[in-house]
Chains A and B, each alone.
Chain A
Amino acid sequence: MAPTPGNRVPQGLANDRLGLLYALLQQFGLQRWSQYVRQHWSGQRLVIAIPWVWLFLFFVVPFLIVFKISFSEIRLAMPPYAPLFEWLEEGKRLVTTLNLGNYAFILSDNLYISTFAYSLKVAAVSTLLCLLIGYPMAYAIARSTPTARSLFLMLIILPFWTSFLLRVYAWVGLLKTDGVINNTLLAVGLIDAPLTLLYTDLAVYIGIVYSYLPFMILPLYANLEKHDLTLLEAAADLGARPFKAFLRITLPLSVPGIVAGCLLVFIPAVGEFVIPSLLGRADQLMIGRILSDEFFANRDWPVASAVAIVMLLALLLPIMLFQRYQRLELEAAKR
C-alpha cells in the first residue's frame, strides 16, 4: 500500500502524543524516581533497611506491647488488662498505674520457678544430646565424598518436608504402651510387660533431640567442611595420633560451629510447646505451656506477658553469646 499524506498525518500525531507521554514520564515518572533513589540512597543502606524495618515492625513493636502489658493489672474487660496511662477528669489529669505485682507473683510462686528450672534443664540436656549425636554425624558428612555429602545433607533436611506437628505426633504412635516400640520388644521377647515410654521426660528428650538435630548438624557441618585438612597432616607429622590431633586441632577450630548449633537448639527448646504437650508428663509443665495456659485458659495477659519477658531475659544471654560468636567467625572468615 502506497503511503498517502492522509495516513501519514495521524501517525505523526500519534508519535507526538507518545513523545509527550514519554517526556512526562521522564519528568515525573518511575525513571526519574528510581534515578532519585539511586542518587540519594546508597544501595547498601536500602538493603540493610529491609531487615531493620522487619525487625522493628515484628519484633520491637510487639515486644514493647508485651512489655507494657506486663506492668498492667488484670481486668475482666476487653482487652483484659488495665491501661498504664489514663486521663481522668476529662483529660485534665494523667494517671499512671505501674504494677510490678505480676513479676512479684511469678517470682514468689514456686510453680513458675520450677517450670523455668525444668525448661532450662530439658533444653540443656537436649542440647547436649544433640551435640553428642550431631557432632559425629556432621563430621562424617564433612569428610565424605562430595556426592555422598549432598545425599546425606538431603537426608538431614528431608524431614522438614513433613509438618513438624505430624512428626512429633508420630512419636506418640511409636512410644505408647501398645505402640510400635513396645510391641516389637514384646514380640522379640526382650521384655515381659510394656514399658512406660510415653508421657515421660525420656519421651520429651527423644522428641526434642529428634526435631532439633538438623539445627545442630547443619552449622557444625558448615564449620567442619571448611577445615583445612593439611592441618591434620601437619599434626600427624609432628607426632600427634589421630585422636590427639582431633582434640587439639579439629575440636578447637569447630567451637564457633558448636556454639551456633547449641544456641539454635537450646533457645527454641526452652520455649518448646508442642513436644512436651504431646509427649511429656502431665504433672510437670514447660514454660511454653504455662505461657499458653495463662494467655488462653486464664486470660491473664499481664502475668503471661511477665512470664514472656522473664523468659526473654533468661535467653538474652545465650543470644548475645551467639551473636558474639557469629561476629568472631565472620572476622575469622575475613582473614
Chain B
Amino acid sequence: MAEKLIDRSNEYIRIEGVTKRFGDFVAVDNVSLNVYKGEIFCLLGGSGCGKTTLLRMLAGFEAPTSGRILIDGQDMADIPPYERPVNMMFQSYALFPHMTVAANVAFGLEQEGLARSEIDRRVGEMLDIVKLGDFGRRKPHQLSGGQRQRVALARALVKRPKLLLLDEPLGALDRKLREHTQFELINLQEQLGVTFVVVTHDQEEAMTLASRIGVMNKGQIVQVGTPTEIYEFPSSRFVADFIGSVNMFDGQLVEDEPGHVRIRCPELESMVYVSHGISAAPDAKVSVAIRPEKIEMTRTAPESSENRARGVVKEIAYMGDMSVYLVRLESGRMVRVTIPNIERHDERIVWEETVHLNWHPSSPVVLSQ
C-alpha cells in the first residue's frame, strides 16, 4: 500500500533508553524510539519479544525499570494511568460485562464529569461512527466478536485521546473481518487525527496498518522503518526472516565497488551480482537474501551468466492467486519461488521439471553475518 507522508517535525512520543526487568528477565532492553503525531506506529514481533510490555508502559500499567517516556513533551514517570492523555484498546477488549454497550462507552466520559446530555450526545455519535448505533442497549455478551471489537474501539476513542494504544486489535477476528476492519481502522485514524501505537505479531496486519513499523526481538528494537523499508531493505537476517519469506544464501564478498558488488555463494552455481554498493570489509562473510517473488522461473536458460541457478521442481503449492514452488538446486539447496497465476490455462511448470532461475541485480539484499 502507498506510503503515507510522515511529518517528522512533530514528535509525539519519545522513549529514551527504556528498560523493564521482571526479576531476572529483561522484557524490554534499552529501547529508544520516537513516534510522530498522527501516524500509525506498529510494534511487531513474536510472542515474548517485549512489545506488549512496552505498550503497557505507555499506558502506565507498568513502570520502566530505567529510562524515560515522554508523551507530548511531558515525562510520564509519576503519572498514573487514569491521568494519562492516552487510551488503550485491550486485546481481550476488557468490556465491562455488567454494563450495556452505551454504558461502556459512556464510562470514560463520566469520569471527566461531563453533563449527562453531553455524554449521551457523544456516546451516540461515537456508536454511529463504529456503526453500532442500534446496539446501545445490548450487553457485551450479546454481541459478535467484531461488534465487541468496535465497542472497545468506541470506548477508547470517545474520550478523544491524542494517543490510542491498540494491543493486537484484530487478533480475535476471522480473516475476512480482519481485512475489512483494518481499512476501517485506517479511515477512522485519518478522520480523527489520533496517533495510533499498535502491537501485533501479525506481519500482514502491521504492513497494512502501519505508517512505520518497529520490529522487536528479545526486548530490543531491531529495525524501525516504513513497511516498504522493512520488507525491501531489512537491516538484519532476523528482520529479513521474520517479515515475509526469504531465500538466504551464505557467501563471500569477492568484488566490492561503490556501484556494485559480486558475491560468491557456494550453494549457487553463478556469482551474485548486486547493483548497489554495500559497506563491508573486503572478503567479508555475508548473507544474500532474495524474496521468492523476485525470482523468475523459466524453462529456457537465461542470457546472463550471473544471478542465475538451475534446479528441479520438487513441490508446488497452489494458493489460488499465486503458486509457491520449491526448487532443488544442483547443490541440494531448496529455493522458494512464488509465481502469480496470471492466466487460467497456461502451460504451468509441473513437478520434476528442470527449470532455470534468475533475478534482477537490484533484488538481492546483502546482510552482514
Contacts and interface: CB of A to CB of B under 8 A. Distances in A.
B96 interface: yes
A239 B155 CA distance: 12
Interface size class of A (residues with CB under 8 A): 10 to 19
Contacts of A234: 88, 90, 94-96, 155
A239 B108 CA distance: 6
Contacts, number: 61
Contacts of B112: 239
Interface in B105-163: 107-108, 111-112, 141, 155-156, 159
Nearest to A237: B88
Interface in B80-99: 80-83, 86-88, 90, 92, 94-98
Interface size class of B (residues with CB under 8 A): 20 to 34
Interface in A235-267: 235-241, 244, 248-249, 252-253
A239 B92 CA distance: 19
B350 to A, nearest CB: 52
Contacts of A228: 92, 94
Contacts of A236: 60-61, 80-82
A244 B59 CA distance: 19
A224 to B, nearest CB: 14
Interface string A190-232: 0000000000000000000000000000000000000010110
Contact of B94 (A230, A240, A244, A252): A230
Contacts of B59: 233, 237
A235 B107 contact: yes
A335 interface: yes
B98 A253 contact: yes
Contacts of B88: 233-234, 237
A240 B90 contact: no
A32 B141 CA distance: 48
With a 10 A CB-CB cut-off, give which of B80, B81, B155, B156 has the most chain A CB atoms: B81
Interface of A is mostly: helix
A332 B140 CA distance: 12
Contact of A249 (B61, B87, B96): B96
B82 A240 contact: yes
Interface string A85-108: 000000000000000000000000
Interface in A246-303: 248-249, 252-253
B69 to A, nearest CB: 16
A237 B161 CA distance: 11
In the A-B complex, the 10 residue pairs with the closest CB atoms: A239-B111, A238-B108, A234-B94, A236-B81, A230-B94, A236-B82, A335-B141, A237-B88, A239-B82, A252-B98
Interface of A: 228, 230-231, 233-241, 244, 248-249, 252-253, 332, 335
26 contacts: A230-B92, A231-B94, A231-B96, A233-B88, A233-B90, A234-B88, A234-B95, A235-B96, A235-B107, A236-B61, A236-B81, A236-B82, A237-B86, A237-B87, A237-B88, A237-B156, A238-B108, A238-B155, A238-B159, A239-B111, A241-B82, A244-B111, A252-B98, A253-B98, A332-B97, A335-B141
Given A237-B81, A239-B159, A249-B96, 17 more contacts: A230-B94, A233-B59, A233-B61, A233-B88, A233-B90, A234-B95, A235-B96, A235-B107, A236-B60, A237-B59, A237-B87, A238-B111, A238-B159, A239-B83, A239-B111, A239-B112, A335-B141
